[in-house]
A and B are shown apart, each in its own frame.
Chain A
Amino acid sequence: MASHGLTYEGCNFLRQRLVLSALSGKRVKIKNIRSKDDEPGLRDFEANFIRLLDKLTNGSTIEINQTGTVLVYQPGLLYGGTVEHDCNPQRSIGYYLEALLMLGPFMKSPLKATLRGVTNDLTDPTVDLLKSTALPVMKKFGIDGEGFDIKVRTSWYSRGMAPGGGGEVVFTCPVRKTVRPVQLTDPGKIKRIRGVAYSVRVSPQMGNRIVESARGILNQFLPDIYIYTDHMKGANSGKSPGFGLTLVAETLNGYFLSAEMLSTPQGQGDPILPEDLGRNCAKLLLEEIYRGGCVDSSNQSLALLLMTLGQQDVSKVLLGPLSPYTIEFLRHIRDFFQIMFKIEVQKPLEDERKGGDKVLMTCVGVGYSNISKTLK
């Protein structure tokens, strides 16, 4: 009766593996975690992530060997409920939130997770980005409702930049029994661009300077651009100074493409001018638009997961080029759910000026139903 587990090596894609394990109920063993490194074993943020996962589940067993190079995870039942968690400041809340987004709809009781730590940093998608892109993606799959939100602005909210952190985010997610199959094949044209230029513990002028330069580039394409400036003072501003920009392009069919850029953390690397940041961020958005698709590059794996966990119907989604993270995710999906995606490259027509190649992903869902949800 013991379920046959899967074995992986290396610490990369740890989140994917653990999340898929929790969803599929398959045991996972990860060996050789930084075994040749000077500091072998799991890092603090990974241990922190495992702790968060433990809070969300009931009956899961986690074994880590003495050096931390081997991790065995036997998933329990996804429980949900109200969870408070102090995230490790080595990674931003986005790192944890990405996993929670995948697990949230499949809990026993609706999730209300309060995460504290770094809200914005360079390595992970920031909370603002996830709020504006991941949630619409999930809504397409029928995960919707009143309590579905990432709140970045709680009553004692503070935006926390790397490396100090000190921010707080509340993620609430309703529970679904099944996920709807989707056909997201026509992205439509971009009708508006919105954005947030935020700055904490720096001059409030920074925001305006960012907006100015970003608009300079984007106005070549579209007049409907509005970038909000969000300046934080006092207790709300976290522990470290910094500023950044998140841009979101919305298409006619309700899809969102996004890009973001942040200042380098205090005391690390060269400081960046807000003008440069604005320009670069706008270019990143153009790059994202060039890639195109119905789901932007940071949420590819989320969309693919929800397709996999759908009913036994055909789902389609048009993506830009697959990111390495997504490619690995596809392999993992095959390992955990025995699902392969049909991958078709859609080349742009000759006279079309719609960016690069697109990838049409098609799959038949596994017919997953949320087995933790209680029947009344």
Chain B
Amino acid sequence: MPFKKQKQHQQKHSGPKAEKKKLKKQNGSTEEDERKRNPKAFAVQSAVRMAKTFHRAQDIKTKKHHVPVVDRTPLEPPPIVIVVVGPPKVGKSTLIRCLIKNFTRQKLTDICGPVTIVSGKKRRLTFMECNNDINSMIDLAKVADLVLMLIDASFGFEMETFEFLNICQVHGFPRIMGVLTHLDAFKNNKTLRKTKKNLKHRFWTEVYQGAKLFYLSGMVYGEYQNQEVKNLGRFISVMKFRPLVWQTSHPYILADRIEDLTDPERLRTDPKCDRTVSLYGYLRGTHLKNKGQVHIPGVGDFQMSDVNFLPDPCPLPGTQKKRALNEKERLLYAPMAGVGGVVYDKDAVYIDLPANHVKQLQEVRPTTELVQSLIETHVTLDAKMAASKVSLFSGSAGLDPTDISEVQEGLREIHVWDAHTQTQRRKVVFTGLEEEEDDVSGSSSDEDDDGSDQENQEEEDDLSTFLKEVRDKSEKATKGSTPPVKKRKLEEMQGEEEVIAEAPAFADSEDELERGEADSEGEGEAERAGDSGHCSKESEEDSDDEEDGDEDDESMEEEIGADDSDEEEEQGKYHSGTFKWKEGLQQKASAAFLRHQEAAPNLRKLVYGSVVEAEDSEEEEEELGGLFRVNRPQKSKKVQADALDCSHFNPDISHNWELEEMLNSIRDCFVTGQWEEGQDAATLLKEDGKSSGGGAFCSLYSELKSESDEDETDDEDQQVKMDDEEVQKNKRLEKKRRLKERFDTEYDDGDATYFDDLKEEMQKQAELNRAEFEDMDDESRVQYEGFRPGMYVRLEISSLPCEFVTNFDPHYPVIIGGLGTSEGNVGYLQMRLKKHRWYERILKTRDPLILSLGWRRFQTIPLYHIEDHNGRHRLLKYTPQHMHCGASIWGPITPQGTGFLAVQSVSGVKANFRIAATGVVLDLDKSVTIVKKLKLIGYPYKIFQNTCFIKGMFNTVLEVAKFEGASIRTVSGVRGQIKKALSTPPGAFRATFEDRLLMSDIVFLRSWYPVSIPQLYNPVTSLLLPVGQKDSWSGMRTVGQLKHDLGVRNKPSIDSLYKPITRAPRHFNPLHIPKELQKALPFKSKPKLLQPKGKVPRDLKRASVIREPHERKVAELLRALSTVHHYKKKVAQRAHHAKHKEFLQQKEKDEEAKMKRMKDARKKLYRIMGQKDQKKQRSSLKGTPQDD
């Protein structure tokens, strides 16, 4: 076919199309937005589809949400734990060395144990190398914040990588960053690229899509390239972490220093004795409580005997504004690697002098550290001396220097102006006095001292003056509202003036009270209502009965719990010259106030005893001078110990609710009382009026009023005005705040979702957590919060096995994991478990398994089970192949939802994947509910109609009695019930069935038998093994291993063996039907056919006919004739048939013709009829003719 040229496209140069194009070219694309330019393309085609897309978008959005948690990271967080993992010879140590060099400019040749460095202004890092032991891998996965996973690209992935990833998945997923090394082994660039891509995608499927994978392309002088390491370092120092559940709910420490504190003498005598060891490290996770229980993975559970915090060995730099750290701030701390040559303990300084590392270090640190330590010593030698104790006899409490000073030289003099006598007096201050006043119980021991004693007399005087001072102070405090703490110092300087300025010392107390009341009326707010109530009440009591005053007071003291009755007792005795009762009254009033003042600091002591030695306080009471124990029956204590256990708080008897003052003192507790400025409805209304633009009159009025207020205030002195300004300012601020709040609530909350609200709530809580204890010193803060994460702490554990110290290897991590409440107990755990899909065998029930759960690694014996539809836990012999099943173990109580993994052995390195199973804890219990099926088999030995006697199922009558009413069944499916035991043979019983049994039937009873879990809890003590063999821990062996090791073969039961089947030929007897029956049967069913034919008797047989020749001829002829006749007949019939057919056709034709005729006739008729009708209609339309 010849090629036909097609018509070419011709561009239009004129016409409407060309015009359009030209216009487009000139203007460019007028509409940038596709949607606007081409609205049709983006029109809604289907509402359903649109709803779907919207739905999906929302789904994706909400999927990204995490459950908001309270941010509990402390202000100064602990160093981030970076674990470097990978198979051996992949370059882990090199990478750590390079990173350390990158951050600190120091070289560390040997990486031993954790290395802490300061990487930036806000971040510290702790590097830890993870060796190839699965124990280390498990432990470090639990504490890691960031995992650097090294992969040898020239080799590809190794099993360890996947094992570690799976361990991480189980114990919360820390951030994981892959690092490909040995990339210089690739010569071909294309293969390099391909390998990178393959590895990256495999890594992504394991971690998450888009996980960061770093490439370290090659080595330069045995180190990675500087630029690449720097990039990696940058990535590390800006990385963010999501809190992991286990880590944020448990305190833990990655120990970076360990000291053996055991008494050397004990060590000498018994080298295998339990050691007292102190462990050091940064506290991570959450608050650590003193004396709590901890678990050291690889060692066991221990009680901490002591915890204290130490100065940070690797502190973050100060908060100066600068971009980079200077040389001094680039700290490095790695005691296990021999860096950090001088280390400080709470009571000692350790100077480590290793052979090779010290030199470079000394240039940087030691001098400054020493100076620092001197600066940081807060306590002087005197104070330390005072704090030290001497004990003369073992067992007796230490003798305090305060005890001695009390006896010997506890008197110091202070010159005090006494208002009573108008003289300067020398006040004796007992060093112990103040403490005694504070200590509630301490003062009671002095009660039986003689009051007439000269010294005591003086003491009382002092006391009284002291009380007076306090009272003066209080009075002042009520006038000017400066804090009382400052007054204490002012007092000594201004004391004279003040006292004189005050009411005269001998003034009538009632006068004074009246004055006070008058004041309160005059100034309105000068006097505290409650206080005046106190005074008046006391005066009343005293005027009623002077003697009873003391008792009343005592009852009042119960309110605070203080028991300083000695003060009261002696108050009456001095000042004999003056009005005795009135003086006493004043003293009491001041004492009451004093108690109020003292209540604040005392309350804590009252509840918890003294802070430092809470435990010792009880002993102190029992001892005198530290030497002799007073065997005094502690009456008050005993009474309390055996008192009625009742939560009622008996009301204060001293409050008399008949009095108006008392009633007034609680007026404001009710809505009918006076409201605070900010909440008062009246003021709020007024403010509303002010703020609103419409209320011009209101604002004018208020302004006028404020002006008039100012006029009034002008009369008052300057001081008050200053105060007023302050108050006004505060008020304004308060008002602004409230306005803003209202604005926020009005406008911000519009589109806040539930998620936002929740987040905000968490945020608020986090702020509160931070702010609450912020301005406290660490010493007391630790008391309330516990040790907070980020602190460098020292734990003392008193009974560690000696192997921990002797076999210590710094390459293995020592982790101290804190345990929560009741996590130290053991019980039954129910878990959901799945065999790992890469583990090649299924797990057998009752085979010991090593579990990593919580902090712990332990061997236990699990039972696998599955839940039936009715909630029954049925025992399984093996774990299912690809399905979850239940597992129950005896093990440490761990909160539900905690993940675990199981391995069959932790020793050695196997070629295969080692993680056998993973799962999660579901339930904790003290009992087990697993059952297994048990079929009891019996045989009938006597059968009645539907009842039969069965034997062999039970052995005694008692056993039968237990199962009375139980349902039983035969193999053939006949159901029945156990009725009653029979006396003989023992264990036989009567049972009824729904049908008659056969003797050959087997009867069985289906029952469920509870299974008990073997109580094996065997912690993996891999850290106690000798150095170099730490990865060879082996626990209990499985039955299979045991048999294999001992060469024991199972002897199979003979019954179970396969034998050739020999079958005897079967012989069937004929079916015999009795004659009677045969007779009765209908003829059809009679076994006639089956009867063999018997001989017919001769007489019944028919005789054969033999024809004569003539007869034969005749018969022949007749046959021939009949044949001819038959033929003729046939022919005639055929002819007749044809004729008849013809006739029928003719008849049909005639019929047709007739029909046609008739049709025509009918047609004619109908036409005529139709014409007639038409005519008629037409005529009817016209109207009837007249003539009709």
Chains A and B come from one and the same complex: yes
A353 touches B668 (CB 8 A): yes
* Residue A327 CB within 8 A of the other chain: yes
Q: How far is the CA of A248 from the CA of B664 in the complex (A)?
A: 20
A125 contacts across to B, CB distance below 8 A: 647-648
B924 touches A222 (CB 8 A): no
Asked if B895 contacts A371 (CB within 8 A), the reply is: yes
Q: Is the interface of A mostly helix, strand, loop or mixed?
A: loop
A366 with B821, Cβ < 8 A, contacts A191-B671, A301-B647, A325-B646 known: yes
Contacts of A87 in B (CB 8 A): none
Contacts of B478 in A (CB 8 A): 350
A199 at the interface (CB under 8 A from B): no
Beyond A189-B673, A371-B893, A372-B924, whether A325 also contacts B822 by CB under 8 A is no
Interface presence of A23 (CB below 8 A): yes
- Residue from A220, A223, A364, A366 in contact with B784 in the complex, judged by beta carbons closer than 8 Å: A364
User: Contact at B772–A362, with CB atoms within 8 Å?
Assistant: yes
- Residues A25 and B641 in contact in the complex (CB < 8 Å), given A183-B768, A353-B674, A357-B599: no
**A37 interface contact, C-beta 8 A:** yes
* In the complex, A265 has a CB within 8 A of chain B: no
**Is B649 a contact partner of A343 (Cβ separation < 8 A)?**
no
Binds A, one of B423-431, B541-549, B604-612: B604-612
A340-368 with Cβ < 8 A to chain B? 340-345, 347-348, 350-357, 359, 362-364, 366-368
Q: Which of B559, B671, B926 contacts A222 (CB 8 A)?
A: B671
Residue pair B666, A286 in contact (C-beta under 8 Å)? yes
Q: Are B671 and A189 in contact (CB under 8 A)?
A: yes
Q: Are B603 and A345 in contact (CB under 8 A)?
A: yes
Let me know if B927 and A350 touch, CB within 8 A.
no
Q: Say yes or no: is A32 at the interface (Cβ < 8 Å to chain B).
A: yes
Whole-angstrom distance from the CB of B897 to the nearest CB of chain A?
6
The answer to whether B641 touches A3, judged by C-beta atoms less than 8 angstroms apart, is no
Give, as a whole number of angstroms, the nearest-CB distance from A73 to chain B. Answer: 14
In the complex, per-residue mask of A285-307: 1 if CB is within 8 Å of any chain B CB, else 0: 01111101000011011000000
Residues of B contacting A355 in the complex (Cβ-Cβ under 8 angstroms): 530, 665-666, 669
Q: Which of A1, A217, A300 contacts B824 (CB 8 A)?
A: A1
- Chain A nearest CB from B785 CB (Å) reads 5
A26 cross-chain contacts in B, Cβ below 8 A: 822
Contacting residues of chain B (653-669) with chain A, CB-CB under 8 angstroms: 655, 657, 662-669
Report whether B665 and A340 are in contact in the complex, using a CB–CB cutoff of 8 Å.
Answer: no
Q: Do A313 and B670 touch (CB < 8 A)?
A: no
Given A292-B669, A353-B667, are A298 and B647 neighbors across the interface (CB < 8 Å)?
A: yes
Q: Provide the B140-166 mask, 1 if CB < 8 A to any CB of A, else 0.
A: 000000000000000000000000000
**Chain A residues whose CB sits within 8 angstroms of the CB of B606 once the complex forms:** 327
Q: Which residues of A contact B769 (CB under 8 A)?
A: 313-314, 364
Residue in B293, B652, B784, B822 whose CB lies within 8 Å of A371: B822
Give the complex CA separation of A364 and B524 in angstroms: 41
Which size bracket describes the interface of B in this complex? 35 or more
B514 on interface, CB distance cutoff 8 Å: no
Once the chains bind, are A9 and B641 in contact (CB under 8 Å)?
yes
Contact B651 A367 (CB under 8 A): no
Interface size grouping (class) on chain A: 35 or more
Residue of A nearest to B762 (CB): A313
Residue in A76, A323, A324 whose CB lies within 8 Å of B926: A76
Tell me the complex Cα distance, A375–B822, Å: 18
The contact of B923 among A76, A181, A344, A375, by CB within 8 Å, is A375
Binds B, one of A10-18, A163-171, A200-208, A267-275: A10-18
Q: Which residues of B contact A156 (CB under 8 A)?
A: none
Q: Which residues of A contact B827 (CB under 8 A)?
A: 59, 77
Any A CB within 8 A of the CB of B118: no
B669 touches A98 (CB 8 A): no
Are B607 and A368 neighbours in the complex by a CB distance under 8 Å? Answer: no
Nearest Cβ on chain B to A44's Cβ, whole angstroms: 14
Q: Which residues of B are found within 8 Å of A356, using beta-carbon distances?
A: 530, 665
Q: Is A331 an interface residue (CB 8 A)?
A: yes
Report whether B923 and A374 are in contact in the complex, using a CB–CB cutoff of 8 Å: yes
What distance in Å separates the Cβ of B541 from its nearest Cβ neighbour in chain A? Answer: 18
Per-residue contact bits, chain B 926-953, to A (CB 8 Å; 1 contact, 0 not) = 1100000000000000000000000000
B669–A369 CB distance below 8 A: no
Name the contact of A13 in the complex, choosing from B526, B645, B772 (C-beta under 8 A).
Answer: B645
B554 to chain A, nearest CB (A): 16
Determine whether B643 belongs to the interface, using a CB cutoff of 8 Å to chain A: yes
> Which residue of the partner chain, among A95, A190, A283, contacts B671 with CB atoms under 8 Å?
A190
Report if A66 contacts B (CB, 8 A). Answer: no
B1177 within 8 A of A: no
Q: Are B671 and A10 in contact (CB under 8 A)?
A: no
Q: Which residues of B contact A372 (CB under 8 A)?
A: 924
Evaluate contact between B666 and A290: CB separation under 8 angstroms. yes
**Is B72 part of the contact surface with A, judged by Cβ < 8 Å?**
yes
> Which residues on A sit within 8 Å (CB–CB) of B642?
10-12, 33-34, 36-37
Q: Is the CB of A345 within 8 A of B600?
A: yes
Q: How far is the CB of B653 from chain A (nearest CB, A)?
A: 10
The chain B residue with its CB closest to the CB of A352 is B668
B666 touches A10 (CB 8 A): no
Nearest CB of chain B from residue A217's CB, rounded to whole Å: 8
Q: Which residues of A contact B638 (CB under 8 A)?
A: 10, 36
Given contacts A3-B825, A34-B642, A59 and B927 within 8 Å (CB-CB): yes
Q: From B783, which residue of chain A is reached at the shortest CB distance?
A: A340
B317 at the interface (CB under 8 A from A): no
Q: Quick one: which of A3, A77, A331, A364 contacts B785, CB cutoff 8 A?
A: A364
Known: A357-B596, A364-B785. A124 touches B646 (CB 8 A): yes
Closest 7 interchain pairs by CB? Answer: A59-B926, A10-B641, A25-B822, A323-B649, A338-B289, A297-B649, A375-B896
14 CB contacts below 8 A, A to B, read A12-B645, A25-B893, A77-B827, A77-B926, A189-B668, A286-B663, A290-B666, A311-B70, A324-B649, A343-B603, A353-B667, A354-B666, A355-B669, A366-B289
Residues of A whose CB lies within 8 Å of any CB of B are: 1, 3-4, 9-15, 23-26, 32-34, 36-37, 46, 58-60, 76-77, 95, 98, 108, 123-125, 181, 183, 189-191, 217, 220-223, 252, 283-284, 286-290, 292, 297-298, 300-301, 311-314, 321-327, 330-331, 334, 337-345, 347-348, 350-357, 359, 362-364, 366-369, 371-376
Given contacts A289-B669, A292-B669, 18 further A-B contacts (CB under 8 A): A12-B640, A12-B643, A25-B825, A59-B827, A123-B644, A125-B647, A189-B668, A191-B671, A221-B673, A287-B652, A287-B657, A340-B608, A350-B527, A350-B528, A353-B674, A359-B603, A366-B821, A372-B924
